[in-house]
Chains A and B, each alone.
Chain A
Amino acid sequence: MAATTADTVIEVQGLEAWYGRRRILKGVDFSVRRGEIRVIMGGSGSGKSTLLRHLIGLNRPLAGTVNMLGIDLAHAGTEELLQLRRQIGVSFQGGALITSLDVEDNVSLPLREHTQLDENTVRIMARLKLEIVNLGGFQNLMPSQLSGGMIKRAALARAIVMDPKLLFFDEPSAGLDPVVSAELDELILKLRDALRMTIVVVTHELESAFRIADTITVLDHGDILVTGTVAEVRNSQNERVQDLLHRRPRDLVVDPDEYLKRLTEEDD
C-alpha cells in the first residue's frame, strides 16, 4: 500500500481490534484519498463500526497504525489530536445531540468550543448549516421535539458546522423514509463538491451506497473483502460480497471449541 502522501488523508495499516476474546478487525489496511467519498459496507458484526471508532480516535489501535491527515493517532499528543478534531466532523448514528440544548446550540457547540469567532458569525454559520440540511427555522426546537429524520439532519449540521476537511457519517439512511434518505445522499454529494470534503460513510444500505460512493470497502468478519469502485464491487467474484449484495443469509462458521469457551468460560 502506498505511503501517506498529500493526497492520502486516511491511512490505516495492519489494524487489529479485539472485544474480549473476539477478534473484530484482522489486520485491516485501508486508505482514502482527498476528495473521495468512501462507503464502508458490511453486515452487522462485520467490524465497520469498530473501524469507524478507530478512525475518529474513540478507540486506540491495539496493533497497527491509523494515520489521519498526516497525524499518527497512536503517537499524537493532546494538542495534535485537538488540531485534528477541528478538521473532522462526525455524524453519529443516533445523532448524539445534547438533550438539554436546543438545535441551534447543539449545532453551534463546535464553533463555541474551538473558535473565537464573533457571536454574529457563529449564529449565521449555525443557521446556514441548518438551511443546508433543510432545517431552516427549526433552531429553537429541543432534540426531544424532533423526528428521527430531523435528528439525523441536525447531527449532520453539527458535524459540518466547522467545514471539516473530513466528514464521517455513520448510517445516514438507517430508519429514514426513502425520500429523506435520498435527499441526504444528494446532500453528501453536494458537500463534497462545494466544500471539498473527503467523506467516509458507514452504511448497510446498498442503494444509498451505490448512489454516493466513489469507492466502496466491503468488510466481513473483520476482513476487507474488496475495495473498489461501485462497478468493481458489483462485479466482484467474491462469494461473500455477492451474498451481501443479494441479501443472502450467511452461513456462520461455527468452531465448537471457541463456541463452548465463549459459553462456559468465567471472566478474568
Chain B
Amino acid sequence: MERGIAESRQGDWLVLSVSGEVDLSWSQTLRTAVLKALPGTPALAVRLDQVAYIDSSGIAALVEGFQQARSRNQPFVLLAPSPSVRAVLELARLDRVFQIREQLD
C-alpha cells in the first residue's frame, strides 16, 4: 500500500486520510501534517482505515494533535481505525482517550 495523506472537506471537518505504514521513518510527516492542519479548520478528523500498521511514533503524532485540539476546544476525531491501529490504541488504553468514530455523521 502506497503511503500518503490525502485532504478532503466534509462540512466543518477537514479530513486527513492516512494510508500505508506509519513507522519511525515517516511518522514525523504525519505529525507535521496534523499540526499544520489544525489552525486552518474548525474540526479535524484523521481517517485511519487504510493504515496497515502504526507504531508508537505515529500514535505520538496523533496524541500531540489531539492535545493541541483540546486546548482550543476544537473537535478532533479518529475515523474508522483499521484493526491494526485499534490494537495499538488499545495496548496503551488510548481507545478510551481519543474520540473514535466510524463515520462523521
* Chain A positions near chain B (C-beta within 8 angstroms): 115, 117-118, 120-121, 124-125, 128-129, 131-132, 161-163, 190-191, 193-196
Are A163's CB and B93's CB within 8 A?
no
> Hey, which chain A residues are within 8 Å of B92, CB to CB?
128, 131-132
Are B23's CB and A125's CB within 8 A?
no
> Hey, which chain A residues are within 8 Å of B87, CB to CB?
193-194
Q: What would 24 A/B residue contacts be, using CB atoms closer than 8 Å?
A: A115-B24, A117-B24, A117-B28, A117-B57, A118-B28, A118-B31, A121-B28, A121-B31, A121-B60, A124-B60, A125-B56, A125-B57, A128-B59, A128-B60, A128-B63, A128-B94, A131-B92, A162-B24, A163-B24, A163-B55, A194-B84, A194-B87, A195-B55, A195-B56
CB distance from B30 to the nearest CB of A (A): 10
> Hey, which chain B residues are within 8 Å of A162, CB to CB?
24
> Hey, which chain A residues are within 8 Å of B55, CB to CB?
163, 195
Check A121/B61 contact, CB under 8 A, given A163-B24, A163-B55.
yes
Interface size of B by CB at 8 A reads 22
Q: A129-B56, A194-B84, A195-B55 are in contact. List 8 more A-B contacts (CB 8 A).
A: A117-B28, A118-B31, A124-B60, A125-B60, A128-B63, A163-B24, A190-B91, A194-B88
Please name the residue on chain B nearest to A124 by beta carbon: B60
- How far is A193 from B60 in the complex, measured between Cα atoms in Å? 19
CB-CB nearest 3 A-B residue pairs: A194-B87, A124-B60, A163-B55
The majority secondary structure among interface residues of chain B is helix
Are B91's CB and A194's CB within 8 A?
yes
- How far is A195 from B56 in the complex, measured between Cα atoms in Å? 9
- How far is A129 from B64 in the complex, measured between Cα atoms in Å? 15
- How far is A120 from B66 in the complex, measured between Cα atoms in Å? 13
Asked if B90 CB lies within 8 Å of chain A CBs, one says yes
- How far is A145 from B3 in the complex, measured between Cα atoms in Å? 44
- How far is A163 from B57 in the complex, measured between Cα atoms in Å? 9
- How far is A128 from B88 in the complex, measured between Cα atoms in Å? 11
- How far is A129 from B63 in the complex, measured between Cα atoms in Å? 13
Are A131's CB and B93's CB within 8 A?
yes
- How far is A190 from B53 in the complex, measured between Cα atoms in Å? 15
CB distance from B97 to the nearest CB of A (A): 10
- How far is A195 from B84 in the complex, measured between Cα atoms in Å? 8
CB distance from A239 to the nearest CB of B (A): 41
Please name the residue on chain B nearest to A131 by beta carbon: B92
Check A121/B64 contact, CB under 8 A, given A131-B93, A162-B24, A163-B23.
yes
Check A132/B91 contact, CB under 8 A, given A124-B60, A125-B56.
yes
> Hey, which chain B residues are within 8 Å of A128, CB to CB?
56, 59-60, 63, 92, 94
